[in-house]
Amino acid sequence: MEALAKEIGIPEGEYREIVQRLGREPNRVELLLFKVMWSEHCAYKNSRPLLKALPKEGEAVLQGPGENAGVVRVGEGWAVAFKIESHNHPSAVEPFQGAATGVGGILRDIMSMGARPIALLDSLRFGPPEEARSRYLLKGVVSGIAFYGNAIGVPTVGGDLYFHEGYRENPLVNAMCLGLLREEHLKRSRASLGRPIYYAGAKTGRDGIGGAAFASRELKEEKAEDRPAVQVGDPFLGKLLMEATLEAIELDLVEGVQDMGAAGLTSSLSELAHKSGLGVELHLDLVPTREEGMTPEELLLSESQERMVLVPKEGKEKALEEVFGRWGLDCVPVARTIPERVFRVLFRGEVVAEVPTEALAEAPTYVRVGREDPEVRRLRETPIPPLEADPQEVLRRLLASPNLASREAVYERYDHQVGTRTALLPGKGDAAVLWIKGTRLGVAAKVDQNPRYSRLHPRLGAMHALAEACRNVSVVGAKPLAYTDGLNLGSPETPEGYHELAETIAGLKEASEALGVPVVSGNVSLYNESGGKRIPPTAMVGVVGVLEVDKRAEMGFRRPGEVLLLIGEERGELGASEVLYLLTGKEFGHPPRLDLGREKAVQEAIRDLIQRGLTRTAHDVAEGGLLLALAEMTFPYGVGATVEVREEGLEALFGEAPSRVLFTVEKTRLQEATLLLEERGLPYRVLGETGGKSLTVLTPGGVLEWSLEELLSAWKAPLREVLDG
Amino acid sequence: MRWAIVRFPGANCDEDARFALEKAGIRAEFVWHTERDLRGFDGVFLPGGFSYGDYLRAGALAAKSPVMEAVRRFAEEGRYVVGVCNGFQILTEAGLLPGALLANLNLHFTCKEVGVRVERNDLPFTRLYPRGQVLRLPIAHGEGRYYADPETLARLEGEGLVVFRYAPLKDEADYNPNGSLHDIAGIVSEKGNVLGMMPHPERAVDEVLGNTDGLPFFLGLVREVAR
């Protein structure tokens, strides 16, 4: 057995731990159970000790980390379940199915909480778009998301997309989902003693065997051989499963729900039992299969999609079976909870595995010693050289650069309106807004992360990610309630990789405490490296907020003659900026400083301005700086502006800095708005006025002017060419 | 006034259809795809989505489902049937409307707002729009390119059966989002009671959604009965 352990990649120390916990040698099946359950993907071996430090409490929090998704209260008896999850490794090997099943998986997590999925967001990272492989992956991933999300009828309302050399071999595909539920319908992964456990949905096949373990190692050259580890998604079956599951919950037929995701039956049943403080006896012969002669190992580890686990309330077994039968789905008891806290597996009348649930669920954890990569430090400390460039030209080129160009070609592939809740469509605001029908409440959501910042300064980069996602949610008028984090990093087994993991989590902690926004769910994807090259540490932060839906702000100028103001400093920084990369082809320097106290005050101020009806147009100043933000505000409605910038140099025009928001106000109410900002002690400036068909910028160095048409076409073309070409 | 919304497995605009019908004051009820009796309803709505996963061909399997026999009889009796998006595909697959909906010319699922001109307003669906008005309506489909043979097209045009046509919202040249022949976005049967269209009026019925251009479509159905 020890030889087998070595062969399938269980470290010697962990094997000894298994023997000790069992009090004997494991058999082959048991060893495989440990292999998947103790994978980084399922067990968070390296991240768990660090993640403990994150603030998880908050007024609105109904369910924090540890369940299938986090849940926050939004008002009038409504709650929102949400979570982000990665599907990076499958997407690198088979982008279409990898992305599609990533969407399917996160939808089932949300359903498991008793919530109806109402929105999807996707956070994607690829290598440079000039390269054929990046294009192939991007097209495949976008098509896969569209294939699954459009068909199942959950709108894809937002996300973010970056191109960066660091993701050349390891693209990232993270999907976030929001679901809506009545507080009283909140479900958890629980079962009481002696209850039958039902298997519902698709039949089990040999697909995706060992996917969780696959997700926990580095991508090697022989990628084609990994194909069997990639699952295949069926959104039609997913839709039937979703409707049947939600109907069963609505009819109050179930006491516990658990999705069957990574590590299939093994993970879902052993965790359900462990969380309930019980054991479980599983009869593999009862599992519906679609292939002949499946072995116990295959049945236990299959990651066939569109499957759920349900625990009916006593006396509701028949009713549950009827609901699923009506939707044409299998729904059969395959297991039962037992008092002994073991995961016992029977196959053809014999016990093929019996392992304490605690031994499986509580994998050993690792605390390592990290060390900063000296190369990262060198790049960060590289001074910014004097840059000479014609701003007239720079804005056009920035708008057409891969990370700033319009995402319209992507989001047009996604149904972003099905469900008739989308109150702010993609491209219209800094965050998506979903309407809770029957109320005047709205839910805002945005996911953010900047790989340049994180690569050069992992801790600060993570702080920026949370600050920016909260800012975007605030800029549409919503109060941020909580966040979900998708942590994507390289191997924690190198000191440099571990350092980045530890720093990333430390950054989230610091920003979370300062902004008062706790984490409620998340996902960790490590080992995103190949050939010894780690991806930039990538904490994709998804923030959910609540607002009065009628008081929401869009980003586009709508009327001429409004006064345009900037909250925050005019001048940004060039370190790690898009303009620096554009002009030098390199990424270096110190990312922008972040004052979290100021950040919080700016967010509160813009929410207050929107709340009081002083503005309906607001936009944060992010990558590409002030001029890029101004250009973006002209696009939605084709209304221009004339502004004056007092500071000199590229720092003022294109420099980047957090805690900055642009907004417009009617002339008659200007004083009210400025008074509000003064009372809060925030720096602001009146920049100019909306109107016209051009963007005109008076600078100390002269007048810059662009027609909206030329800016718009520069901005829209690049991704169209990639996706439609 | 009571309308049935047929729930095919895989349909996903059924709730949206109910939202829009109820907004117009119409009682809307879901009817399962196995239902064979539609008595008591004033109209039938076939919603968008991916009925039966759109396996084989969009709408092809739904067209053979038990409820469609009832829909056919319902239509023959001259009562109102509306199919939107997948519903339109089902109506052509079932032969209740002529022509077919092929893959968009760009070969991609496309979701955006387009201009849709009202070609005739002597029907309940359009009576509240001025003729020639260009509505702003969302589309969301991968197979919406209307196709019919030249004779059928000539007949549709000759008899004025084209109800909705893609049209520029401002002055854009690429206003036809999918390559539909004659810019056709929606057609009606000769008797004027069976309507199929690709754009989604039910997604444009509330200020919160930023668009109310679809609301008169549903309000028009109500006035029909009051008449």
The residue extents of the domains of chain A are 552-724
Selected residue with higher pLDDT from A218 and B37? B37
- Distances in whole angstroms, Cα of residue B163 to Cα of each of B114, B124, B156, B183, B223: 16, 11, 10, 11, 19
Q: Which two tokens stand for residue B155?
A: 């007949």
The helix, strand and coil proportions of chain A, stated in percent and rounded to the nearest 5, come to 40, 25, 35
Contact A299, A362 (CB under 8 A): no
Say how far apart CA A85 and CA A486 lie, in whole Å. 6
Say how far apart CA A698 and CA A687 lie, in whole Å. 10
CA distance A428 to chain B (A): 11
Report CB contact under 8 Å: B19, A420.
yes
Under the banding of pLDDT at 50, 70 and 90, the label for residue A650 is: very high
* Average model confidence (pLDDT) across chain A: 95
pLDDT per residue as tens digits for the range A344-362: 999 999 999 999 999 999 9
Q: Is A417 on the interface with B (CB under 8 A)?
A: yes
Contact A431, A474 (CB under 8 A): no
pLDDT of residue A228: 56
Does residue A31 register a pLDDT over 70?
Answer: yes
CA pseudo-torsion sign A463, A468, A473, A479: positive
Does residue A173 register a pLDDT over 90?
Answer: yes
CB atoms within 10 A of CB A86: 28
Identity of the residue in B53, B110, B138 whose CB atom sits nearest the CB atom of A236: B53
pLDDT of residue A306: 93
Place of tokens 């008896």: A77
Does residue B226 register a pLDDT over 50?
Answer: no
Report CB contact under 8 Å: A422, B209.
yes
Say how far apart CA A355 and CA B130 lie, in whole Å. 73
Selected residue with higher pLDDT from A489 and A388? A489
Q: Is A412 on the interface with B (CB under 8 A)?
A: yes
CB atoms within 10 A of CB A498: 23
Say how far apart CA B37 and CA A498 lie, in whole Å. 65
pLDDT per residue as tens digits for the range A200-219: 999 999 876 766 555 555 55
pLDDT of residue A226: 53
CATH numeric code, B1-219: 3.40.50.880
Say how far apart CA B74 and CA B72 lie, in whole Å. 5
The pTM (predicted TM-score) of the whole model is 0.96
Does residue A230 register a pLDDT over 80?
Answer: no
A525 labelled ligand-binding: yes
Selected residue with higher pLDDT from A176 and A8? A176
pLDDT per residue as tens digits for the range A499-541: 999 999 999 999 999 999 999 999 999 999 988 899 999 999 9
**% pLDDT > 90, chain A:** 91
Does residue B227 register a pLDDT over 70?
Answer: no
* Average model confidence (pLDDT) across chain B: 96
Under the banding of pLDDT at 50, 70 and 90, the label for residue A9 is: confident
A84 labelled ligand-binding: yes
Say how far apart CA A303 and CA A280 lie, in whole Å. 20
Report CB contact under 8 Å: B9, A412.
no
Does residue A269 register a pLDDT over 60?
Answer: yes
A533 labelled ligand-binding: no
Q: Is B202 on the interface with A (CB under 8 A)?
A: yes
- Search chain A and give the residue with CA nearest B177: A412
- Which residues are CB-neighbours of A598 under 8 A, at least 6 positions away? A568, A659, A682
Q: Where does A94-131 have alpha helices with state H?
A: 95-112
Contact A212, A39 (CB under 8 A): yes
Contact A645, A697 (CB under 8 A): yes
* CB < 8 Å to B12, chain A: 151-153, 239, 418
Instruction: Give residue limits of the domains in chain B.
Output: 1-219
Say how far apart CA A635 and CA A555 lie, in whole Å. 9
Domain A552-724 has CATH 3.90.650.10: yes
Q: What is the ipTM of this complex?
A: 0.96
Say how far apart CA A307 and CA A706 lie, in whole Å. 54
Beta A70-75 vs A78-86: how paired, if at all?
Answer: antiparallel
Q: Is B203 on the interface with A (CB under 8 A)?
A: yes
pLDDT of residue A41: 85
Report CB contact under 8 Å: A415, B109.
yes
pLDDT per residue as tens digits for the range A65-110: 999 999 999 999 999 999 999 999 999 999 999 999 999 999 999 9
Q: Is B110 on the interface with A (CB under 8 A)?
A: yes
Q: Which two tokens stand for residue A507?
A: 């950054």
- What kind and span of H or E run contains A120? strand A116-126
Say how far apart CA A430 and CA A480 lie, in whole Å. 13
pLDDT per residue as tens digits for the range A282-293: 999 999 999 999
- Search chain B and give the residue with CA nearest A720: B106
Residue in A180, A305, A412, A417 to test binding to B, most B beta-carbons within 10 Å:
A417
Which segments of chain B are extended strands (E)?
2-7, 27-32, 43-46, 80-84, 100-102, 110-118, 134-141, 145-147, 162-166, 184-188, 194-197
Report CB contact under 8 Å: A418, B140.
yes
- Search chain A and give the residue with CA nearest B107: A724
Report CB contact under 8 Å: A239, B210.
no
